[in-house]
Structure 1
């Protein structure tokens, strides 16, 4: 009769230590986010108490006349982010469908490798290549300087595309593995199974890709700084120059840290923080609201 060893008592202790370590990490992350929020709130609060918030939310930015309105830059941020996301998201969904069965397996494998490599390319490389190639093309085709909403939008679309694709692709692979037998029993081909079974089952992945992709578009500073033209004005067309909040913060903080213009940057930071927090709260709500059976 084989000897039966008693169960080890070290495993529960190890699991408890790992659990406590994860809890401590989560608490530290929450504390860091709360600290950033309090820091921004403390430096932004005087604008609310003194009535300066109305001056900050005006469309006029003229530090010479002590006018520090950021409304045009806030509008540029949302316009650029939404337009780039509107291009990248459906394109990312189409790429994921191609990767998971609508395209040839060999080509899909090569494309998946290219998408993963795109995440390793520094953002400055995207901006530099676009400034040397895309901007002259836009200038030659439509006139103007070429440093415009259109140029920044196209490159920002390319920048956030891997985020959308990789998140949704992982979800589609998991859902396809769970529903393969069901689709086969229904007599569905690979394309029909993807469109009518797998894609509807990726509700959590679709929302997660949308939330993180849009957050990536809002938070990028280098592409708008290099390609959008840095014009402090409300853009009226895709060929106009613009200055989003992220590039505005980078420009002002790098040149002056003592004037009233620098103080107004905390309002810019608070807007960006609230947008990012809203995106993350939406993602957490989607995950909580999704049934357990739909989660990977």
Structure 2
């Protein structure tokens, strides 16, 4: 069994290195080509402009706002689950979050198409409804259960361990959560936030269905944007072998490097926590 596990680890590592090598091999000519400047904000393939910076900025905005909102809501839900005395309500909420984590992404997209977008378009008169705001709303619902489940797994054992001691010292449950539980696991909480951010960056279906796919710099949350993942899906579906197609390798290496950096940072934080605990 140990030999099988080592073999699987080696094969997985080789596959990952092969993916990195493939993207680097095909993206380097794109980065250093004078006639195909991808580091610009202009995407007009018919005029020979293949800049992807507007899509990079759109991806960063979408992931940052979605992860921040989901994290704040997750902290609130986590505190409610630990402090509430209505155990039936807490169990119902946790069951709903676990159910939400199992819902496919396309279901969120379809629900937004028939509920959220008509509401933005007809009720609030906010253009077509396809916007950064619509994608953010659904991405928050997508990554919220993941962050909530991670926070619950982190904070509940600490609550069971320290709540009685804190109560004996005269701390209220709210003070125990704010001044004992959260500071004790702040590194793990940062890891949960990074995981949510990484999940938001890598999602394709919701930005593709809801964000409007306009290659522009947004001036507000109700403007349309195009993310890197949606850009890859759209270009692959419509074009192959052209300069526009070659820009996909640049987008792919940026996404892969972002995910790799976030994973390395998460592992560093966890390793530092274990080292501090050992001391």
Fold shared per TM-score above 0.5: yes
Specify the alignment match of 1:129 in structure 2: 111
**RMSD of equivalent CA atoms:** 1.8
Q: Unmatched 5+ residue regions in structure 1?
A: 1-16
Q: Which stretch of structure 1 is more off in the superposition, 55-64 or 116-125?
A: 55-64
Alpha-carbon distance in structure 2 between the residues aligned to 1:142 and 1:163: 33
Q: Which stretch of structure 1 is more off in the superposition, 28-37 or 56-65?
A: 28-37
Alpha-carbon distance in structure 1 between the residues aligned to 2:71 and 2:35: 38
Q: Are the aligned partners of 1:102 and 1:191 in contact in 2 as well (CA < 8 Å)?
A: no
In structure 2, the CA distance between the partners of 1:48 and 1:228, relative to structure 1 (3 Å rule), is closer
**Of 40, 45, 52, which aligns to 2:28?**
45
CA distances 1:215-271 after superposition (whole Å, capped 9, x unpaired): 000000100011001111111111111111100100111122222211110000011
Alpha-carbon distance in structure 1 between the residues aligned to 2:179 and 2:86: 20
1:23: how far off? Answer: 3.4
The answer to whether residue 161 in structure 2 is matched with residue 178 in structure 1 is yes
1:120: how far off? Answer: 1.0
Q: TM-score, normalised by structure 2?
A: 0.93
SS of structure 2 residue aligned to 1:258: coil
The answer to whether residue 60 in structure 2 is matched with residue 74 in structure 1 is no
In structure 2, the CA distance between the partners of 1:97 and 1:103, relative to structure 1 (3 Å rule), is farther
Alpha-carbon distance in structure 1 between the residues aligned to 2:115 and 2:64: 24
Specify the alignment match of 2:227 in structure 1: 244
Q: Are the aligned partners of 1:204 and 1:294 in contact in 2 as well (CA < 8 Å)?
A: no
Q: Unmatched 5+ residue regions in structure 2?
A: none
In structure 2, the CA distance between the partners of 1:50 and 1:201, relative to structure 1 (3 Å rule), is same
Q: Which stretch of structure 1 is more off in the superposition, 199-208 or 67-76?
A: 199-208
Q: TM-score, normalised by structure 1?
A: 0.88
The answer to whether residue 182 in structure 2 is matched with residue 199 in structure 1 is yes
Specify the alignment match of 1:167 in structure 2: 150
Specify the alignment match of 1:216 in structure 2: 199
The answer to whether residue 5 in structure 2 is matched with residue 25 in structure 1 is no
Alpha-carbon distance in structure 2 between the residues aligned to 1:81 and 1:52: 31
**Of 46, 50, 60, which aligns to 1:64?**
46
In structure 2, the CA distance between the partners of 1:134 and 1:49, relative to structure 1 (3 Å rule), is closer
Alpha-carbon distance in structure 2 between the residues aligned to 1:109 and 1:181: 22
Specify the alignment match of 1:101 in structure 2: 83
CA distances 1:121-171 after superposition (whole Å, capped 9, x unpaired): 111110011111111111231421110111111111111101110111100
Indicate the structure (1 or 2) with the bigger Cα radius of gyration: 1
In structure 2, the CA distance between the partners of 1:214 and 1:197, relative to structure 1 (3 Å rule), is same
In structure 2, the CA distance between the partners of 1:104 and 1:292, relative to structure 1 (3 Å rule), is farther
Number of matched residues? 277
Alpha-carbon distance in structure 1 between the residues aligned to 2:9 and 2:77: 34
Alpha-carbon distance in structure 2 between the residues aligned to 1:27 and 1:203: 33
